[in-house]
Amino acid sequence: MLKIAVLVSGSGSNLQALIDARLSGQIVGVISNKPGAYALERAQKAGIATAVIEHKQYPDRESFDDVMHQQLLDWEVDLVVLAGFMRILSAKFVKAWEGKMLNIHPSLLPHYKGMHTHQRVLNTGDVYHGCTVHYVTAELDAGQALAQGVLTVSHQDSVESLANRVHVLEHLIYPQVVEWICSGTLQHTPNAVLYRGQVLAQPLQFCQR
């Protein structure tokens, strides 16, 4: 059974979706860089170990990441799932977890890397928006995309409504991708990502009107 750690900074609705999905892997721990994150309460309610590692208490990114790395090793983690974890990770940490660390981002990558994605989509007048689950690499929001949730932007949409609608998609696709990894349906190999034994050339797409 795959051992999973979830890294959070905030509300943790994606963590909740992962808990509720009853994955065939086990969420062995949740790390937050913010002591007050509601995600910690969600984890505790589900009986999952938590660790608060406050980035402010460390002189630089690498020493903060080293402490997280050690915690992940202590929990014997196989898969790291970033779920609203709002810290940029050091190249060394990313390298150590290459092919074993996922992120979810609220845009259809490669569009709108970084912050304020919903506002930027509205500013541009895009027809489509959504979220992407991808492997984490040293470059921000640039690792291979595995799945995307796609929605059609309506004239009535605001930043808030888009955030809510994207969250619905996130809660659908993130547990699905994690389960594919737990079950071996999705495999990271040195040459390619395989989905059901075939090279995954494009992210799998889930659409919502």
Q: Is residue 10 a contact residue for ligand GAR (CB under 6 A)?
A: yes
Count CB atoms within 10 A of the CB of residue 131: 28
Among 28, 81, 94, 104, binds ligand GAR (CB under 6 A): 104
Residue with tokens 């888009």: 162
Stretch that binds ligand GAR, among 5-13, 41-49, 72-80, 143-151 (CB under 6 A): 5-13
State in angstroms the smallest separation of the CB of 46 from ligand GAR: 14
Contacts to ligand GAR from residues 77-96, by CB under 6 A: 83-84
CA distances from residue 36 to 54, 100, 138, 167, 185 in whole angstroms, order as listed: 11, 27, 28, 21, 36
State in angstroms the smallest separation of the CB of 170 from ligand GAR: 6
The closest alpha carbon to 130, from 114, 147, 143, 144, belongs to: 147
User: Does the annotation mark 134 as catalytic?
Assistant: no
Is 1 annotated in some ligand binding site?
no
Q: Is residue 162 a contact residue for ligand GAR (CB under 6 A)?
A: no
Is 12 annotated in some ligand binding site?
yes
| CA end-to-end span of the chain | 36
The closest alpha carbon to 53, from 25, 18, 29, belongs to: 29
Catalytic residue chosen out of the listed positions 69, 105, 118, 134? 105
Round to whole Å and give the CA distance between 34 and 54: 6
Round to whole Å and give the CA distance between 31 and 8: 6
Stretch that binds ligand GAR, among 9-17, 27-35, 42-50, 65-73 (CB under 6 A): 9-17
Round to whole Å and give the CA distance between 209 and 200: 25
Round to whole Å and give the CA distance between 55 and 62: 10
Given the complex with ligand GAR, which of 170 and 179 has the nearer CB atom? 170
Q: Please state the residue numbers annotated as binding site for (6R)-10-formyltetrahydrofolate.
A: 61, 86-89, 103
Q: Please state the residue numbers annotated as binding site.
A: 12-14, 61, 86-89, 103
Which positions are annotated as active-site residues? 105
Residues that bind ligand GAR (CB under 6 A): 10-14, 83-84, 104-106, 131, 167, 170
